[in-house]
A and B are shown apart, each in its own frame.
Chain A
Amino acid sequence: EAQVTQNPRYLITVTGKKLTVTCSQNMNHEYMSWYRQDPGLGLRQIYYSMNVEVTDKGDVPEGYKVSRKEKRNFPLILESPSPNQTSLYFCASSTPPSGRYSEQYFGPGTRLTVT
């Protein structure tokens, strides 16, 4: 079954304690993205990756890091989480565009609370 998995699904942590949210896809997709969802703001892109070792900032990258060492994995790293990073996070993957739309697959979401 084609899917994007995220772990953990729920996380409560304290300010400043480094954490990693993992994302993995089994569709051999080149493109992967991270979004955060906040009330009244919809979803906003944090970072994206077009292939292994190729990453770039999205609209709200501050306070986040990513890495893409393997094609299937795209972890989101919060080196020093702060309460304003409390949010619902989604990972997504897709194939490269080729003049036609490439389907986006979303993970189930990770609800992060930083106290």
Chain B
Amino acid sequence: AQKVTQAQTEISVVEKEDVTLDCVYETRDTTYYLFWYKQPPSGELVFLIRRNSFDEQNEISGRYSWNFQKSTSSFNFTITASQVVDSAVYFCALSEAEGAQKLVFGQGTRLTINP
């Protein structure tokens, strides 16, 4: 069975600090997809990134970066120089390559950036 674990329930940092959100996943599939979503206080789900299991290249997008390591089944997300607007709940998710396209979500990490 697929499973995603976000061990950090809540993180609170001061603005401009760097922060890393951890994500560990379990799957027996050899082909799968990993995601990060942001849920701001308004409640909608904002897609941040998708990675397939064959692409372990790390990605950087502005202040955001993602570290995908198959050897440790992890897909961690780092925000550099955090800002108050980064405050949100962040979800890591896993999807199988075929089938019903079900997303298996982690429990979420609530990130609070204090001014």
Q: Which residues of A contact B (CB under 8 A)?
A: 31, 33, 35, 40-45, 48, 50, 56, 58, 88, 90, 92, 94, 96-97, 99, 101-102, 104, 106, 108-109, 111
Contact = CB atoms under 8 A, between A and B. Distances in A.
B44 A97 contact: no
B43 A109 contact: yes
B102 A101 contact: no
Nearest to B44: A108
Closest 10 pairs between A and B when the two form their complex, measured CB to CB: A42-B105, A43-B105, A106-B45, A42-B107, A48-B100, A97-B98, A94-B101, A109-B43, A101-B33, A45-B102
Nearest to B39: A37
6 contacts: A42-B105, A48-B100, A90-B45, A92-B103, A101-B33, A101-B50
A31 B103 CA distance: 13
Contacts of A109: 43-45
Contacts of A33: 100-102
Contacts of B47: 106
Contacts of A43: 91, 93, 103, 105
- Secondary structure type dominating chain B contacts: loop
A42 B108 contact: yes
Interface of B: 4, 6, 9, 33, 43-45, 47, 50, 52, 91, 93, 95, 97-103, 105-108
B99 to A, nearest CB: 7
Contacts of A48: 100-102
Given A41-B107, A42-B91, A97 B102 contact: no
Contacts of B33: 101
Contact of A88 (B43, B91, B105): B43
Contacts of B100: 31, 33, 48, 50, 56
B74 to A, nearest CB: 17
Nearest to A110: B43
Contacts of A90: 45
Name the residue among B4, B105, B106 with the largest chain A CB count within 10 angstroms: B105
